Structure 1
Amino acid sequence: MAKEYRAKVFKSGNSVALRLPKALGITEGTEMLVREERGKFEFEPVPSESEKIDLTGIWGACPGIERMPFDESERDWSSFPDAD
């Protein structure tokens, strides 16, 4: 069974905020998703986006890598399913 904690709602500017217990281990600044369904609320951390790697500086550093020739022939795209 999940552990229960009490939290208190308080006024913060023109909004209300929920003070969460330190025991939950949520760090300050953590972005949260909030869902409300039939008067019940669910809170969970926003999933972090995977880091993107910048490969712009690596292009000339790999020997043997060359740009492939461009094929200008006509293509029949009708056999591919729609992207929708």
Structure 2
Amino acid sequence: MGEEYRAKVFKSGNSLALRLPKSLGLNDGEEVVMIPHADGSFSFWKQGQQRDILLSLFGSMSAGFMAEGRGDIDQGDRDWTGPASSAA
């Protein structure tokens, strides 16, 4: 992981704002994408970096990731003779 940064949340009108340190390298007016996680943490990155983020995640998989395949996937037999139903 990288360096840790601290930020302060403050009220701005009827909204909350997050004051980020200049040392993060963001520019005035620059848009960021912010994703909340179930554990209460957040991830954020500069708008337009989604491709780079995805590729970095792909590169972080171990060399043996899924080397043995997905394993057995047990699926029961389906009854294809029943009445037609719409796909969900």
What is the RMSD computed on CA atoms of the aligned residues?
Answer: 1.3
Residues of 2 paired with 1:30 and 1:41: CA distance?
18
Q: Residue 46 of structure 2 aligns with which residue?
A: 45
Residues of 1 paired with 2:14 and 2:8: CA distance?
17
**TM-score (ref. length: structure 1):** 0.53
User: Are 1:35 and 2:35 an aligned pair?
Assistant: yes
* One-letter code aligned to 2:26: I
**TM-score (ref. length: structure 2):** 0.51
Q: How high is the sequence identity, in percent, across the aligned residues?
A: 54
Describe the superposition over 1:8-55 as per-residue Cα deviations: whole angstroms up to 9, x where unpaired.
00011111011000111100101111100111111111107xxxxxxx
Residues of 2 paired with 1:13 and 1:33: CA distance?
22
Gaps of 5+ in 2: 50-88
Residues of 2 paired with 1:41 and 1:15: CA distance?
18
